[in-house]
């Protein structure tokens, strides 16, 4: 049962344009959401997060939007740069208990063309 | 500030063998989580260690075990290796948050395990 889904395996955008990566989840107990970026042969790098009590969080070129009623979040990258080309993972943290384990989506490969 | 480090980088084992992977957490982080990432998939939670005790476990069999040491570094041990254990093994460290949850997790580069 895939609780966190990234339905687009890949996305290609032109440099300077907006990249929008999407993520859907099913479990209403998730209380914290994160986006990670991963280059080949490296571990995931933390990008940005959002608490379930907010609907938007912005950090430089990166903005994450959360729509709790739709159980949907998205990552916007503006403007996109060739160095942003990587695999992006959406992750959700389960709110109950104290483990805070992360449940990841399958990832979306972003290619930014010069 | 030193980031999360893992060793070895790559490892090749044969079916039935045992393997130990190591992780040094980021400075000031007392919680270590281990994930398995199969090709083309997102990372899957194996277990977490806090104050040298297992603090939550994912859907992995008992042949996956771990340790955390007083300096917060950690080991992942896998016994009786199977072909399907071939994957990237990621370690992530985090501080324990105010609400009791582990906070944002920071990942190491991973260990690529191949089982032949």
By the 8 A CB rule, do A75 and A48 touch? yes
- pLDDT of A77 strictly over 50: yes
Per-residue pLDDT band at A61 (split at 50, 70, 90): very high
Stretch A25-50: mean pLDDT, rounded?
92
Query: What is the per-residue pLDDT for A50?
Result: 94
CATH superfamily name and code, A4-113:
Immunoglobulins (2.60.40.10)
Residues A76-95, buried b or exposed e (16+ Cβ, 10 A)?
bbeebeeebbbbbbbbbbbe
Q: How far apart are CA A43 and CA A19, in angstroms?
A: 22
Query: What is the per-residue pLDDT for A99?
Result: 67
pLDDT tens column, B95-114: 875 455 556 889 999 999 99
- A7 torsion bin: left (phi>0), alpha (psi -120 to 50), beta (else): alpha
Q: How far apart are CA B96 and CA B87, in angstroms?
A: 28
Chain B nearest CA to A80, separation (Å) = 23
Stretch A42-62: mean pLDDT, rounded?
94
Point out the residue among B6, B40, B56 whose CB comes nearest to the CB of A99: B56
Query: What is the per-residue pLDDT for A1?
Result: 67
Stretch A59-70: mean pLDDT, rounded?
97
Evaluate the CA torsion angle B96, B98, B101, B107 in order and state its sign. Answer: negative
Q: Which residue of B has its CA nearest to A109?
A: B40
Chain A nearest CA to B103, separation (Å) = 7
**Higher per-residue confidence, B53 vs A41:** B53
pLDDT tens column, B46-92: 999 988 888 889 999 999 999 999 999 999 999 999 999 999 999 99
Query: What is the per-residue pLDDT for A94?
Result: 78
């Amino acid at each position: 049962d895939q609780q966190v889904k990234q339905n687009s395996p890949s996305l290609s955008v032109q440099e300077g344009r907006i990249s929008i990566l999407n993520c859907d989840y099913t479990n209403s107990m998730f209380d914290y959401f994160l986006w990670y970026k991963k280059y080949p042969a490296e571990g995931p790098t933390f990008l940005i997060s959002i608490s379930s009590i907010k609907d938007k969080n912005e950090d430089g070129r990166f903005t994450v939007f959360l729509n709790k009623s739709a159980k949907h979040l998205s990552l916007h990258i503006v403007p996109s740069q060739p160095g942003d080309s990587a695999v992006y993972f959406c992750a959700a943290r389960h709110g109950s208990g104290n483990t805070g384990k992360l449940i990841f989506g399958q990832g979306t490969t972003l290619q930014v063309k010069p | 500030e030193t980031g999360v480090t893992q060793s070895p980088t790559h490892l090749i084992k044969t079916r039935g063998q045992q393997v130990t992977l190591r992780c040094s957490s980021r400075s000031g982080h007392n919680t270590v989580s281990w994930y398995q990432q199969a090709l083309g998939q997102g990372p899957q939670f194996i277990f977490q260690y806090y104050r040298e005790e297992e603090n939550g476990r994912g859907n992995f069999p008992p042949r996956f075990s771990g340790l955390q040491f007083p300096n917060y570094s950690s080991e992942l041990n896998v016994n009786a290796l199977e072909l399907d254990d071939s994957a990237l093994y990621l370690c992530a460290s985090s501080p324990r948050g105010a609400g009791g949850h582990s906070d944002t997790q920071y990942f190491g580069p991973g260990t690529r395990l191949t089982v032949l």
